[in-house]
Structure 1
């Protein structure tokens, strides 16, 4: 029958806990002995029971193994402290180098602004002058580049405005032609529009007496 997996937590029952401690302690001491024999290793094992009873195993003298352990721990701590000291020293040197670099840059900046030149030699002033000339040349070249770019942008904008103006002129010309065509098509013809005005008048008067006498004689 396969045993179930033991849950790794404190055994609450005192009797079961004591039995388990006794069995596991024997197995642990056996494993330590096997490790020492099979691998030629120095093994020291110390176990205190819940009641304070000591159980131990050592492949050599326990004191010698413990002394070796103490020396190893001390050497490890010294090595760690040495590495920390080296890191701190390196960080300090890096900080000093950066601060010196910043100070040099600040000094160069003041000299470029014309300050603190009293202690400069002729050679240093000549070097400073050449640096300023190079800087001025770079600034002028950058300025001319910006000017040319701005001029090209203005030219391109001018060409765009001219094209838009020509397009508007063409649209205006087409509209004017269309208006003229519509006006000519809807205007009345001169031949059909001429109307002969006839003046009529109504007059009332007595009939001619001669015509009346002639009518009676008939």
Structure 2
């Protein structure tokens, strides 16, 4: 069954009007409570009936909600009006910053060689000095960086020379140890050869071999 659409207008029947008011008021307060719980919202409802009876609902203190509403309303009214004396220093400060930003932007463009039209001789001389001073600082910074890199390269060169000297010393010590070991092996071979020759000589002479 399709519900009949109710025409929104004042109910003439007093009893029906009071019943509708009671039902709609409870439904309205229920929706407000659901909105406050679901969305963590602070809200307050104030309803006066046709007889002047007060009904209210608030998610927190109604007094605090009313004071907060009054404070925000007053602030909004002040902002919509002309700037007060308290707002003038802030506005003036913004204008000064905006003007300074514009001047700095134009100066930067002129340092790049742009927006030079309309400058007098004195302005061009001052701009030339600024450019020369900037180039001097850039050159000094570049030279400092080059000197720093050269110093690092020299330190690295010294480290490599020390490493090469240590490696060379280790190689010489190794060769020296090898030379000390080689003569001992040669003397042992020669002595064995001499013994063998004496044995052969004794045998040739027909003498008994003493070593045997």
**TM-superposed deviation, 1:175:** 1.0
**TM-superposed deviation, 1:188:** 4.0
Where in structure 1 do 4 or more consecutive aligned residues deviate above 4 Å? 197-200
The equivalent residue for 2:147 is: 148
Pair 1:166 & 2:165 matched: yes
The equivalent residue for 1:104 is: 103
**TM-superposed deviation, 1:143:** 0.8
Q: What is the number of equivalent residue pairs in this alignment?
A: 137
Tell me the secondary structure at the aligned position of residue 87 of structure 2.
helix
Alignment of 1:54-203 (within 5 A): 87-189=86-188, 190-194=190-194, 195-196=196-197
**TM-superposed deviation, 1:94:** 1.5
Q: Give the Cα–Cα distance (whole angstroms) in 2 for the partners of residues 88 and 191 of structure 1.
A: 116
Q: Give the Cα–Cα distance (whole angstroms) in 1 for the partners of residues 102 and 88 of structure 2.
A: 21
Q: Give the Cα–Cα distance (whole angstroms) in 2 for the partners of residues 129 and 180 of structure 1.
A: 76
Q: Give the Cα–Cα distance (whole angstroms) in 2 for the partners of residues 141 and 119 of structure 1.
A: 33
Name the TM-score, length of structure 1 as normaliser.
0.50
Bigger radius of gyration: 1
Q: CA RMSD in A?
A: 3.9
Q: Give the Cα–Cα distance (whole angstroms) in 2 for the partners of residues 183 and 96 of structure 1.
A: 95
Q: Give the Cα–Cα distance (whole angstroms) in 2 for the partners of residues 191 and 129 of structure 1.
A: 96
Q: Give the Cα–Cα distance (whole angstroms) in 1 for the partners of residues 184 and 97 of structure 2.
A: 91
Tell me the secondary structure at the aligned position of residue 95 of structure 2.
helix
Tell me the secondary structure at the aligned position of residue 98 of structure 1.
helix
The equivalent residue for 2:67 is: none
**TM-superposed deviation, 1:88:** 2.6
Q: Give the Cα–Cα distance (whole angstroms) in 2 for the partners of residues 181 and 97 of structure 1.
A: 90
Deviation digits for residues 120-173 of structure 1 (CA, Å, limit 9, x no counterpart): 111100000001111111111111111111111111111111111111111111
The equivalent residue for 1:20 is: none
Name the TM-score, length of structure 2 as normaliser.
0.51
